Amino acid sequence: MRVGFVGLGQMGAPMAQHLVERGLVVYDTRPEAVAPLVAAGARSAAGIAELAAACDLVSVMVRDDAQVAEVAAEALPAMRPGGVLAIHSTIRARTAAELAARSGAVHVVDAPVSGGFMGAADGALAVMVGGTAEAFAACREPFGAWADLVLHVGPVGSGTRAKLARNLLHFTAFTAAAEAQRLAEASGVPLRDLARVVRHTDAITGGAGSIMLRPTTAPLADDDPLRPILDHVRALGEKDLAFALELADELGVDTPLARLALARLAAGLGLTPEDHDG
């Protein structure tokens, strides 16, 4: 499968680097972004249409929906029937489905990635693919060059919806981290020490992902085997959040997200407030 890559920025360049030995064709509006990949063995295309005509899989990692639409407008008419246009950019949930509806015999998949430029450099990204089973089968192996978790999460558009859910957790956690830092700072705790503890323990426990155990967000049945585990999590969480909020009140630190977390923790775990550990 001949692979082309459009968009060689902070994420696209290291992703593309893992594909050079496959006879990679690359394009970017910035010559300085193309040069290192050409030096490594890739071929530079003069434009998007030229790249698309030469490739079976065209990966796109550009900035936003508008740029994705521009690339697709040039690439889709030039691609061969059965080819795959893969959008790795984080876009609106509806954009990929809209492109697929007018792509003709070319498959469109939305395949956003998670793992940052570090994961891209190491070939250790996670990629969430939305598209047909046929399209997924075609791009699974090339995606594996730069990702060590390649998931087919549903029809076109599903990859983006998965990425947006993942990033909701990511950036909400940043807000929680800011609250934690304000509390630590007011308590006289060095923020860099707190950061070291968080990074160390999250690497062991998996952080927020460690409680993502259920196949549904519906309330747990009384005989669900996860109930004792999550009820224990609820008991610890409610205790520790209550103590943290007590400290925040004493120090005059505003922690609205923590208060919301305490109020909603039980329901989020599939439990009711009156459930008790044991």
Q: What is the Cα–Cα distance from 169 to 238, expressed in whole angstroms?
A: 20
Q: Tell me the mean pLDDT in the region 181-187.
A: 98
Among 114, 133, 157, which residue terminates a domain?
A: 157
Asked whether the predicted pLDDT for residue 278 surpasses 50, the reply is no
Tell whether the model's pLDDT for residue 123 goes beyond 60. Answer: yes
Range of the domain at 12: 3-157
Q: How far is CA 224 from CA 212, 215, 221, 264, 277, in A?
A: 15, 12, 5, 20, 14
Tokens of 71: 């690339």
Q: What is the pLDDT of residue 9?
A: 97
Q: Do 152 and 257 share a domain, yes or no?
A: no
Q: Identify whether residues 173 and 130 lie together within a single domain.
A: no
Same domain membership, residue 215 and residue 82: no
* Span 29-33, average pLDDT: 97
Considering the domain architecture, whether residues 60 and 111 belong to the same structural domain is answered as: yes
Tell whether 33 and 122 lie within a shared domain: yes
Structural domain total, the chain: 2
In a domain, 178, yes or no: yes
Task: Give the helix ranges, DSSP H, for the chain.
Answer: 12-17, 31-40, 48-54, 65-78, 95-101, 116-122, 133-143, 158-186, 191-205, 227-251, 256-268
On whether residue 205 sits in a domain, the answer given is yes
* Residue whose C-alpha is closest to residue 112's, from 32, 170, 29: 170
Same domain, 74 and 188: no
| Final residue belonging to a domain, choices 157, 179, 207 | 157
Between CA 47 and CA 11 the distance in angstroms is: 20
Same domain, yes or no: 23 and 135? yes
221 residue type, one letter: A
Point out the catalytic residue in the list 107, 163, 183, 255.
163
pLDDT of residue 1: 86
Q: Please, which pLDDT band fits residue 153 given cuts at 50, 70 and 90?
A: very high
CA diameter of the chain: 67
Question: Quick one: what percent of the chain has pLDDT higher than 90?
Answer: 97
Whole-angstrom distance, CA of residue 111 vs CA of residue 126: 10
Residues 168 and 255 in one domain: yes
Q: What is the mean pLDDT of residues 179-190?
A: 98
The first and second tokens of residue 55, run together, are: 């490739």
pLDDT at residue number 276: 56
pLDDT one-digit tens code per residue, 230-252: 999 999 999 999 999 999 999 99
Is there a single domain that holds both residue 23 and residue 149? yes
Distance CA 198, CA 205 (A): 10
Of 157, 173, 188, the residue at which a domain comes to its end is: 157
Same domain, 232 and 188: yes
CATH code, 201: 1.10.1040.10
Do the domain assignments include residue 273? no
Assign 57 a pLDDT band (cuts: 50, 70, 90). very high
Contacts of 51 (CB under 8 A, 6+ apart): 4, 6, 25, 26, 27, 45, 58, 75
Residue 163 is among the residues annotated as catalytic for this protein: yes
Burial degree of 9 (CB within 10 A; 0-12, 13-18, 19+): middle
Residues 152 and 168 in one domain: no
Please, which residues have CB within 8 angstroms of residue 28's CB and are 6 or more apart in sequence?
A: 6, 7, 8, 9, 12, 34
Picking from 100, 103, 169, 171, the residue whose alpha carbon sits closest to that of residue 129 is: 100
Note the pLDDT of residue 251. Answer: 98
Q: Are residues 8 and 134 part of one domain?
A: yes
Phi, psi of 252, rounded to the nearest 5 degrees: 70, 35
* Signed CA dihedral, 45, 47, 51, 54: sign only: negative
Q: What CATH number corresponds to the domain at position 151?
A: 3.40.50.720
